[in-house]
């Protein structure tokens, strides 16, 4: 039996494969200056993303340019301080928004789309409009799924979409929202899908497509997964743990295959 020596890959090579902080080196008992400064900068970017002002008007303009009618609402969180200290307030519409939304709900719809700031307004500013642009043709092909309402929500937590969907009479709601910033991705967007939305649902009853950003899931890949989950969720009348993402490797063939 021949003894074959497997070459050991230098740890430094791993840095070309991952944004994780590996093989940073050391200077005495501490980090070298450059890795320390890089960490400090990434930490500052993550903090800035959490506290960034939400440009709801800019999003309304961007979504309107895609040919969709948009409503604007806000949660009961009066400001960012309340939002961060009281997550429950971000899950409830303020009274004026609930009343305005109810007045606009003239008929039930298949799908409502909610775009909320979440924990990273920067993620929503960077990716939401482009993702919706990629999603629209996937929903219009085959048996079309119409977006009945688009709502831009300030001070939003994920569950705010459940109350919005219930008021609008939507069979399903898709909530696009800024995810908690990380040191390698301060602008990651998430999409949460809930069938038969209503207040009080748990995360077990919704699906999530996360890590949507330039170094993560592309707009086309994310849109394909969202469209697949929307169609399957409506057909099976479930989301969450009862609906597994079985789209498999289909996003790799987006150019030739569309959901039917």
For the chain, give the percent of residues with pLDDT over 90: 66
- Mean pLDDT score across all residues of the chain: 88
Nearest CA to 112 out of 143, 83, 71 is that of: 71
pLDDT of residue 82: 94
pLDDT category at 258 given cuts 50, 70, 90 is: very low
Reported as a single tens digit per residue, the pLDDT across 142-185 is 788 989 999 999 999 999 999 999 999 999 999 999 999 887 78
Tell me which of 26-40, 54-68, 219-233 is least confident: 26-40
Residue 216: Cβ-neighbour burial (10 angstroms; 0-12, 13-18, 19+): middle
Kindly report, residue by residue over 94-121, the tens digit of the pLDDT.
999 999 999 988 888 999 999 999 999 9
Q: What's the rounded mean pLDDT across residues 20-27?
A: 78
Reply yes or no on whether the pLDDT at 68 is more than 50.
Answer: yes
pLDDT at 186 > cutoff 60: yes
**Domains present along the chain, CATH in parentheses:** 50-253 (3.40.50.11240)
Polymer length of the chain: 260
Name the band, by pLDDT with cuts 50, 70 and 90, for residue 23: confident
Please give the full DSSP string across 24-90, using - where no structure is assigned: ---BTTB--HHHHHHHHHHHHHHHHHHHPPP-HHHHHHHHHTTT--EEEEEBS--SHHHHHH-GGGG
CA dihedral 136, 243, 179, 94 (to 10 degrees): 80
Tokens linked to 16? 């070309």
For the chain, state the CA radius of gyration.
21
On the question of pLDDT at 76 being above 70, the answer is yes
Whether residue 253 has pLDDT greater than 90: no
pLDDT tens digits, one per residue of 191-220: 999 999 999 999 999 999 999 998 899 999
Q: What local confidence, expressed as pLDDT, does residue 9 receive? A: 61
In this structure, what are the phi and psi dihedrals at residue 194, rounded to the nearest 5 degrees? -135, 125
Q: Which residue did the predictor score with more confidence, 183 or 222? A: 222
- Whole-prediction pTM value? 0.85
Sign of torsion over alpha carbons 164, 169, 170, 171: positive
What does the block give as tokens for 103? 């007045």
What local confidence, expressed as pLDDT, does residue 256 receive? 39
Is the confidence at residue 248, as pLDDT, over 90?
Answer: no
């Amino acid at each position: 039996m021949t003894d074959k020596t497997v070459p050991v890959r230098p740890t430094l090579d791993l840095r070309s494969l991952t944004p994780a902080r590996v093989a940073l080196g050391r200077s005495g008992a501490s980090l070298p200056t450059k890795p320390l400064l890089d960490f400090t900068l990434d930490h500052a970017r993550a903090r800035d993303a959490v506290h960034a002002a939400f440009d709801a008007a800019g999003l309304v303009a961007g979504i309107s340019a895609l040919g969709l009618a948009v409503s604007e609402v806000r949660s009961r969180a009066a400001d960012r301080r309340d939002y961060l200290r009281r997550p429950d307030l971000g899950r409830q519409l303020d009274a004026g928004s609930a009343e305005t939304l109810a007045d606009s709900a003239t008929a039930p719809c298949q799908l409502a789309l909610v775009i909320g700031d979440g924990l990273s307004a920067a993620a929503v500013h960077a990716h939401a409009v482009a993702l919706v642009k990629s999603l629209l043709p996937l929903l219009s092909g085959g048996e079309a799924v119409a977006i009945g309402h688009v709502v831009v929500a300030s001070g939003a937590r994920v569950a705010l979409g459940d109350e919005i969907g219930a008021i609008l009479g939507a069979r399903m709601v898709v909530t696009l929202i800024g995810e908690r910033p990380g040191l390698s991705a301060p602008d990651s967007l998430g999409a949460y899908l809930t069938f038969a939305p209503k207040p009080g649902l748990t995360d077990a009853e919704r699906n999530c497509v996360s890590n949507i950003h330039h170094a993560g899931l592309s707009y086309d890949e994310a849109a394909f997964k969202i469209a697949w989950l929307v169609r399957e969720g409506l057909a099976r009348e479930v989301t969450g743990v009862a609906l597994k993402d079985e789209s498999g490797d289909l996003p790799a063939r987006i150019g030739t295959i569309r959901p039917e």
